[in-house]
Structure 1
């Protein structure tokens, strides 16, 4: 399902956080948002899963303004893994994942065979199949992350919205999560701090800086040394990954440097 964010503007506490944002994710694409802390990545994503209402612009899901849908209709189309994640669920792992089926249920309706299959499949896909009876509150941060991803998958949405989904995951589970996203080819909007992960998993990237979109395109086109120096204030070399051929960003940890004047302006 196609997602189109059109001329989006959002203010929080009277301050404009993002403005003039245009992002498109075609059916089956993985589209990434990257940028420094405070650049507006999470704010943009929150408008897609209706946690925030924009001041201007709109979010179209399959051609329909998401604000015109009921909460259940919206949740059947879009599932989110936000950064603000509950950690105090006094529920079992399986019960948490089964919450993803709520948009399809009438009040007081019980679980049916489809629900059971989707919950089991989601737990299997995130490597938590044997953990269904464990208490969610007793899990590690990485385990909770995987369970909440399973809940989003059990929701069986057309669109996934993921805000820093690799946080708290060890290297193996980061790699497995990115492989899962590539495998399923569900339309996905994802915010990532890890630029190498973004280069590996995303079909297209949008770079945000101070609430504005400063570059868009394929990872190889967007992740240039000049733009990264300007936006992130670091010196890098962009080379080819020896195993995958993706862009690989090598950071100079000894001599971090500011950007090159004019790089962002040229990319607008």
Structure 2
């Protein structure tokens, strides 16, 4: 399944946070949202997993407006890992992950063999299979993140919506998570702060700035020095990663970009760099 976002507008208290967003998460591809803090990434994702209702525009799941589906139908197709984690769960690790099976169960129905197998596989996928009896409240931030990701996997969704999924993870578990996403080949819409992680894992990127999608395309085409200066306010060059060949962004940590680098502090609309198209199908995965 694919996600199409059409002319999406989202507002809080009369202030527009997302303005006319138009993008595609193509079937079986990893589509990344990148942009500075406050650019609208999380707000856009919240409309996709129906935490927010758009002021205008639509989110389509393979051509069907998500608002026409029941919450249970949506949950069988779309699983989310939001930034906000809610309250602590007075449940074991396994019990938290088993919540992901709820969309498939009738009221008061118990677990069956399929449920147990799916939960076990989800826990193994995130490396938490040896912690099933621990209380969720006892876990570290990174462990909680992995358990909540396993809960999303247990939903067996067609589409994953992940908001900063590498938060709280150490470098090894970040690498393992990104490898897991690549191997899964689910339609995935993910926001990432780490631009090098985004360049490595994503088939296609959409850059948000002040609530608008200002560039879309394969990472190598999108993540150009001029855009990095203009949108993120940093000096950088892009080279080939010596191990993987992916685009690798080398930042100047001694000084931010200035006006001569193309950074305009948001006063002038940002244009997509040459060769970068609007929303459309992504590249084939490496």
Asked if TM exceeds 0.5, the reply is: yes
Q: Does 1:43 align with 2:43?
A: yes
Specify the SS of the correspondent of 2:254.
Answer: coil
User: For 2:132 and 2:103, how far apart are their aligned partners in 1?
Assistant: 21
Alpha-carbon deviations, 1:48-95, whole Å to 9, x = none?
Answer: 100000011100012110000000000000000000013510000000
| 5+ residue gaps, structure 2 | 279-286
What's the TM-score once normalised by structure 2's chain length?
0.92
Alpha-carbon deviations, 1:82-110, whole Å to 9, x = none?
Answer: 00013510000000000000011111010
Contact 1:34/1:192 (CA < 8 Å) preserved in 2? yes
Alpha-carbon deviations, 1:148-176, whole Å to 9, x = none?
Answer: 00000000000000000000000000000
Hey, what does 1:64 align to over in structure 2? 64
| 5+ residue gaps, structure 1 | none
Q: Which aligned pairs between 1:148-163 and structure 2 lie closer than 5 A?
A: 148-163=148-163
Q: CA deviation at 1:10?
A: 0.3
Please tell me the root mean square deviation across aligned C-alpha atoms, in Å: 1.2
2:271 to 251, 265, 268: 265
Q: How many residues align?
A: 268
User: For 1:211 and 1:266, how far apart are their aligned partners in 2?
Assistant: 15
Hey, what does 1:230 align to over in structure 2? 230
Q: CA deviation at 1:26?
A: 1.3
Q: CA deviation at 1:266?
A: 5.2
Contact 1:30/1:188 (CA < 8 Å) preserved in 2? yes
What's the TM-score once normalised by structure 1's chain length?
0.98
Alpha-carbon deviations, 1:196-229, whole Å to 9, x = none?
Answer: 0000000000000000110000000000000000
The structure-2 alpha-carbon separation of the partners of 1:128 and 1:257, relative to structure 1 and needing over 3 Å to count, comes to same
User: For 1:222 and 1:263, how far apart are their aligned partners in 2?
Assistant: 16
